[in-house]
Structure 1
């Protein structure tokens, strides 16, 4: 069901949902919330976009990274060539569009990649305690205090991993169901 009202309203609601989900993610240390509910709230924004525009348009709009690469570049890239590639794609994109030796490329971020990044981050957040002769998943906190976030520590890495894991799972299920 594609409606004009939902298509226009979702442009306003997607940033609000994502900002609110990040707020819930960081609020979860001292109050109810955290990675799980934050990931669900973020996924709701993309579910609404899928309802309004379809799964292909959502995947192209939010989960496709567009960049330029040299046409004749083959083999392994050195660190300097990767830095040049990143610099030109971020700051000189208009020049690259007119250059004949730079070709446009696309890379789609699959929900499976988001799931694997979240699982890796959640699992490795407990390893830091092992380095200090403490049990796995021991909470470690930094000595500094950040104004908005508070004291950073390993629980936020775990919550961020759960956030990405839940977001990826819900997106994968939604994309599979919407494409049928």
Structure 2
């Protein structure tokens, strides 16, 4: 179902859903909220976008990551390049060796990778207590305060992991159901 009003409203509401879900996520370790409800609120905008535009458009617009990769310029074949580098002076050798070609590459983020990252972050946040001879999932807190977030610690790492896990699972379910 694609109407002009719904298509325009969804594009405007996705950032609102994302900002509100991050607010609920970071508010959660002191007040009601947290990673689970934040992940559900964050996925609402994507669900509506998939209902309007489809899963391929959602993957294309929101789950693409642009990477800037440096690649050494291939001057010659390797043996000819080495021979040439032996013959030129040191200043010119440094200039030739530092020439890089920058490429933009697009990488698609699959929901299964979001799930795996969230599960890894949530599980490893519990292991940080072992470094202080405490039990699994014992909390550690930093000595400084971040203005919006508050005092960072391992519970916020756990909440971020749960947030990514819930967001990835809901996206995966939505994509599978929209393709059928």
User: Who is 1:128 aligned against?
Assistant: 128
Runs of 4+ in 1 over 4 A off after TM superposition: 67-74, 101-104
User: Which residues of 2 match residues 11-160 of structure 1 at below 5 A?
Assistant: 11-67=11-67, 105-160=105-160
Rg larger for: 2
Q: Residue 126 of structure 1: SS of its match in structure 2?
A: helix
User: Who is 1:9 aligned against?
Assistant: 9
Q: TM-score, normalised by structure 1?
A: 0.80
For residues 160 and 4 of structure 1, what CA distance do their matches in structure 2 show? 35
Q: Residue 167 of structure 1: SS of its match in structure 2?
A: helix
Displacement of 1:66: 3.4
Q: Point out where structure 1 has 5 or more consecutive residues left out of the alignment.
A: 75-100
Q: What are the Cα deviations for residues 2-57 of structure 1, in whole angstroms up to 9, with x where unaligned?
A: 11111001111000000000000011112111000000000001001111111100
Count, aligned residues: 154
For residues 31 and 103 of structure 2, what CA distance do their matches in structure 1 show? 49
Q: TM-score, normalised by structure 2?
A: 0.80
TM-aligned CA distance change 1:2 to 1:152, over 3 Å: same
Q: Point out where structure 2 has 5 or more consecutive residues left out of the alignment.
A: 75-100
For residues 148 and 172 of structure 1, what CA distance do their matches in structure 2 show? 31
Displacement of 1:148: 1.2
Aligned CA-pair RMSD: 1.8
For residues 68 and 115 of structure 1, what CA distance do their matches in structure 2 show? 25
